[in-house]
Amino acid sequence: MSTIKLLVTGYKGRMGQAIIDCASRDDQVEVAAQIDIGDSLADALPLCDTIIDFTHHSFTTELVSAAADAGKNLVIGTTGHTAEELAVIQDASAKTGIVMAPNFSIGVNTLFWLTAKAAATLGPDFDLEVVEMHHNQKTDAPSGTAKRLAEILADARNLSYDKDTRHGRQGDVGARTQNEIGVHSLRGGDVVGDHTVVLATDGERIELTHRASNRNTFAGGAVRSARWLASQPAGLYDMQDVLNLKD
């Protein structure tokens, strides 16, 4: 297989730097171009085969549309997309390969799989809660990973993420309902990313936890996704596809 040429967007950020470092140690890929929001995307696109994007969801429409028109594969690690931006991504996947995931860690994606199995096995007698913590500079909440965990729990119980998720509790909120999925966000220090799924019932409690100590695990998953996309047809994929974790 020929070397995959990467365009890294958001290269000045912490994730961008981690991806560049990871790619430099992988002989199957090469960082051919790197830009930030505001730099010339048109100049960088011809230099690459695949784009890895960890910028901001406001850049999505421009980036995804240009990538699809140019036939460039795309790995999207940005979170917080609007419904309109998600529609653009869906439409673009008819033209090119896209891997989009809230978290590219192999461990977190195993946590996704374990969460689905645990919720389905334990059944409705177990209360469901998600707790996440990130560094004090993170601007969105809950994290994309926590949202995905809550969506997985909702799917396992035939619930609705939009209707049945409760983000934090304050005041006299009443007793917890059986269909409630609690999601709680903590911010502080330089925490890269901690996520815990709590499944609790009378007499026992199960906690599934993943803690990231550095960004290399996410960068490695993103680069792995870029390699995987090189042999896939156009379509919208996630890390569960890349890791072959889907039943």
DSSP 78: -
**Residue 57 a catalytic site member:** no
Q: CA 87 to CA 9: how far, in whole Å? A: 21
Helix (H, G, I), strand (E, B) or coil at 161: helix
Place of tokens 């950020």: 13
Helix (H, G, I), strand (E, B) or coil at 156: helix
Catalytic residue among 72, 134, 147, 195: 134
Question: What DSSP string describes 8-37?
Answer: EESTTSHHHHHHHHHHHT-TTEEEEEEE-T
**Residue 134 a catalytic site member:** yes
Q: What is the CA radius of gyration of the chain?
A: 19
Ranges of beta strands (E only) in 18-123 are 29-35, 50-53, 73-76, 97-100
Nearest alpha carbon to residue 98 among 73, 116, 117: 73
Catalytic residue among 57, 95, 117, 138: 138
Enumerate the active-site residues: 134, 138
